[in-house]
Structure 1
């Protein structure tokens, strides 16, 4: 399986991962052969990157760190909560806890976690997919920091609902991808206050989860919002979710911004250490991130194009690359692989889409 830009798809390509709506419904199932009408529909939905299965990549395994079922259930429970809030009703916090516990169990079960899966997000499910991903990233960092099960649950709930306040904002604002105007930015920033107000009344949820929604845009240097808190005045859980949210916003389209490649996002996040986030949290977080995700296509310094087939977890910037080479008669194509830990004169110039 490998990543492919929506613009490089062709009829007959086989979908490698199921695409879901925000309520958990299947939009397009794994194994489907893509037709022109399917490809046009995916473009209309706003999907930029997806996964396909082909002969070149049939042995490449791109695994999610949580089960597809648990990711889908979390998106559906978040969608139910959002729909309830929209009409002024309460939502089932206990059901959310059950879904969170499943995700935590998936993550605690794994010894070495390395995240490199790219989400296939539509315009409609962007906020739901983002929130679940931030939840997963936050649990991974919380686990690495040694948080116990009870604290992981409070952290995860706050992470899942960190953007719940956006339900109070205009849909047009949330679907905008160009930079916000100052007036739009000020309006968007109110989602932290709205989120706190929504969550603090939920007695079955940890009150600190509400403070995550309130503080996840605060920064160490005091340049965050809504209260311009500094240093230790920002709760550790909010700092954890702040890092996860910051990274996921860099690598995916979202309100007021478009995505950049993961390796660039890693550099930007590292540069934010001690300014936006504690350095030790940033370093720990980056130890679990694939700068060049498995399945992505890259250009090498040799001019060759290849696919990332495996990670070197000790050196995440130096993965294993598969390059396709045609013989002199062009009658047969063979693959060769470079382990960039061993091929020290080679380097990746860019990710291709």
Structure 2
């Protein structure tokens, strides 16, 4: 299996990972042979990357942090809940607690975690996919910080609901599809207040969850919003969600920032450590992120082109790369470089 850009798809390519709709429904299942009609539909949906099967990479497994079933279920519950909120009804707190418990349990059960799969995200499911991803990333960091189970549950719930204040806003403000005016940007920022006001009224949710929604855009140096809080004034769980939120926005389509590759996002986050976010939190977060996810195509400093086929948990920026004899992946495997062992070899460029 390897990752490709949607513009590089060819008729007959076989889908390697299932693509879901905003409600968690399967749009295209793993194993589907792509026709010109399917490829055109994927482009219309705004999907920019996906995974395809490739005989040369049959042994390459791209694992998500959580199962497809739990990701689908979480998106389905989110989609249903946002419909309720728009209609003025209550969230189903029991349903949220059930799926949060499943996701937390699954992540706690895994011994070693490295986030190395990139989202196949469409325009229609951006908000729900983002919320689930922020939830997963937050739990991964919370686990690395050895948070107790109660804090992890509150963190996960606050993370999946961190943007709930956007639900009643004009879709134009939250879609990321248009450039907003300064006035619209200020209006969008009020989603933290709207989310807090909504969540704090819910007796079935801990008040900490409301504060996560309220504070996840606050920064240690006082440049955040809505209250310009500084170091020591921000709830640590909200800071965790803030880091996860920013990383996911950087590495996915249809957000309010331009998509960049994971290694670039990691560099930016490291640059913000100690200024916007606590240094130790950022360090632990990056230890669990694959800078070069499995399946991506790269050019090495040797000039060779290959695919990342495995990760080194001890050094996420130095993966294993399989190189072929031609830039378009010739049939003969030349070699594999384990970049922990081959220190003079490094990735020069990620190819789309």
Does the alignment pair 1:229 with 2:229? yes
Does the residue aligned with 1:231 lie in a helix, a strand or coil? coil
Counterparts of residues 1-353 of structure 1 (less than 5 Å): 1-177=1-177, 179-325=179-325, 332-353=331-352
Distance 2:154 2:4 in 1: 36
- The two structures have a TM-score, normalised by structure 1, of 0.96
| 5+ long unaligned stretches in structure 1 | none
Contact 1:177 1:258 in 2 (8 A): no
| Structure 1 Cα separation of the partners of residues 232 and 54 of structure 2 | 50
Work out whether residues 262 and 292 of structure 1, in 8 Å CA contact, stay in contact via their aligned partners in 2: yes
- Displacement, 1:180? 3.4
Long gaps (5+) in structure 2? none
* SS, match of residue 123 in structure 2: coil
Query: Could you say if the C-alpha distance between residues 186 and 209 of structure 1 is closer, same or farther in structure 2, counting changes exceeding 3 Å?
Result: same
* Contact 2:221/2:276, CA 8 A, preserved across alignment: yes
- For 1:66 and 1:12, how far apart are their aligned partners in 2? 29
Judge conservation of contact 1:299–1:352 (CA < 8 Å) in 2.
yes
Contact 1:173/1:255 (8 A) holds in 2: no
Displacement of 1:332 after TM fit? 4.7
Please give the alpha-carbon distance, in whole angstroms, between the structure 2 residues aligned to 1:284 and 1:334: 36
CA RMSD between the two structures: 1.4
Q: Give me the whole-angstrom Cα distance separating, in 2, the residues matched to 1:20 and 1:69.
A: 11
Q: Deviations over 1:280-312 (max 9, x none)?
A: 111011110000001111111111111000111
Deviation at 1:178, TM superposition (A): 5.5
Contact 1:251/1:260 (<8 A) preserved:
yes
Alpha-carbon offset, residue 313 of structure 1: 1.4
Asked if structure 1 preserves the Cα contact closer than 8 Å seen for 2:318 and 2:338, the reply is yes
**8 Å contact kept, 1:179–1:257:** no
> What is the TM-score normalised by the length of structure 2?
0.97
User: CA separation in 1, counterparts of 2:199 and 2:145?
Assistant: 25
Mapped to 1, the partners of 2:271 and 2:247 lie a distance apart of 12
Rounded to whole Å, the distance in 2 between the matches of 1:31 and 1:172 is: 35
Would you say the 8 A contact 1:298–1:351 is kept in 2?
yes
Q: Is the 2:249–2:256 contact (alpha carbons within 8 Å) kept by the matching residues of 1?
A: no
